[in-house]
Structure 1
Amino acid sequence: MDFHTGWLLLAAAIGLSLTPGPNSLLVLTHGALHGHRRTLWTVAGGALGFVALIALSLAGIGALLKASAGALIVLKWVGGAYLVWLGVQLWRAPPIRLQSGNGQDGPGGPAADGRPATLFRQGLLTAVSNPKALLFYGAFLPQFIDGARPLLPQFITMAVVFGVVECLVEIGLAMLAHRVRPWLERLGRRFNRACGGMFVAMGAALPMTR
């Protein structure tokens, strides 16, 4: 992976981690309810789940690239179209609500249970139980693959970059939970539309990069 592609991957990973999703909402809620130190268990579980999804996605991508030399081009265009579709869905999504009125934190179940094992399990299951994440990585990661270079080092680099960035962003969200939570809810749909527009632009531009 060259220098330019590496920086583009890092920027994309940061942008992806900052977009609203089940795990980020779970971390925000746990941070507000249990404090950022306990929420580190939620972050650890989610990071493990994301790495597992990335490994599954890359294994499938690697098998496809070995079977067909032109598969990378197809993956780029199909993946770009999927990113545009995700951006449209995010644009149309309702405003973020981090906690329902009945005391249940939506992404992770009962809000009262702050045991480390429970928080870790909720983070892990929230990550791996989201089929859209597996599809997203399958669409997103091929944009950064150089078919002329060995795949394994590229796969390891991507997994490390996404895993580390996800952890750092979620730790930051947990520490700022009380401040970020009302800010996100106050922005309403504007935040979703900004993130959705970013996905559409990325999906349109990335398949044409070399």
Structure 2
Amino acid sequence: MSFEIWLTYLATVLAFMITPGPSHLLMLSNSMTHGFRPALATAAGDLTANALQMLAAGLGLAAILVASQHALEIVKWLGVGYLLWMGMRMWRQADHAKSDMGAARSASRRALWGQGFFTSAANPKAVVFFAALFPQFIDPSQPFVPQFVLLSVTYLIVDGTFLSTYGASAGWIAARLKGRATAFVHRLGSVFLIGAAFMLGLKTLRDA
């Protein structure tokens, strides 16, 4: 793979990342309510799911997912429901945010990782996306594995950078809000989660 082709791929990924997706909104929410450092587990969960999706695309499993349309729809709507439930629960708990802030910030990193992983995995068509994207930049005259690894690592680094930037910004703002403002932080985080659910649901309806 030439450097010029890699730069074109990088520009494509950056353009794709410009609009925040459900995982980015989840990162914003968790950084505001739990702090940036704990929320890095959310980013790790998202990137883990992405890595598995890219591996599945590389192994040719995209065709299986496309064929299993019914199972695909079920997984996607489960993801929508999960995000919506988390958002509504956070909104209801906003009035108790001040007294519960310590508990919120001590949330299990395993739970935060699971949220990031499930939110990304709830979009199984990402496998199809990677299966369609990668061949555009892979030179068939060169070994497949090194090119596949380079494309995958590049995507993960870019996505991780965006997630960290969103999370650090949200964490910085939340850390400077005290007292009653913590309820506002929870409600804003709730809006991000419900927005993520809406985005996933809209995409599911559009793809149907």
Q: Settle same-fold status: TM greater than 0.5.
A: yes
Deviations along 1:26-46, whole A, 9 cap, x unmatched? 21xxxxxxxxxxxxxx63x64
**3-state DSSP class of the match of 1:70?**
helix
Structure 2 equivalent of residue 83 of structure 1: 79
Which residue does the alignment assign to 1:147?
131
SS, match of residue 179 in structure 1: coil
Q: Residue 25 of structure 2 corresponds to which residue in structure 1?
A: 15
Quickly say closer, same or farther: Cα 1:76–1:181, change in 2 above 3 A.
Answer: farther
Distance 2:130 2:54 in 1: 12
The partner residue of 1:71 within 64, 70, 75 is: 64
Give the equivalent residue in structure 1 for 2:116. 133
Residue 169, structure 1, aligned to residue 166, structure 2: yes
- Tell me if structure 2 keeps the 8 A contact 1:81–1:203: yes
Distance 1:164 1:60, change over 3 A: closer
1:147 maps to a residue whose letter is A
Q: Report the alpha carbon displacement of residue 206 of structure 1 after superposing the two structures with TM.
A: 5.5
Q: How many residue pairs get matched?
A: 175
> How high is the TM-score relative to the length of structure 1?
0.58
Cα distance in 1, alignment partners of residues 25 and 54 from structure 2 = 25
Aligned CA distance change for structure 1 residues 171 and 196 (closer, same or farther; 3 Å): same
Bigger helix share: 2
Pair 182,172 (structure 1): closer, same or farther in 2 beyond 3 Å: farther
Change (3 A) 1:69 1:201: closer
Matched, 1:92 2:100: no
Flag structure 1 segments of 5+ consecutive residues without an equivalent.
28-41, 110-121
Match of 1:204 in 2: 202
Q: Sequence identity of aligned pairs in percent?
A: 10
Cα distance, 1:81 vs. partner? 1.7
> Is the contact between residue 10 and residue 161 of structure 1 (CA under 8 Å) also seen in structure 2?
no
Code of the residue aligned with 1:10 in structure 2: it is: I
CA shift for structure 1 position 83: 3.2
The separation in 2 between residues aligned to 1:68 and 1:180, in whole angstroms, is: 49
d(CA) in 1 for partners of 2:48, 2:86: 24
Residue 144 of structure 2 corresponds to which residue in structure 1?
A: none
User: Over the residues paired in the alignment, what is the CA RMSD in angstroms?
Assistant: 4.0
Deviations 1:90-149 (A, max 9, x none): 343123354536xx711444xxxxxxxxxxxx8xx6256642322222224743823134
State the AA in 1 paired with 2:25: G
Q: Which shifted more, 146-155 or 131-140?
A: 146-155
Compute the displacement of 1:14 (Å): 4.0
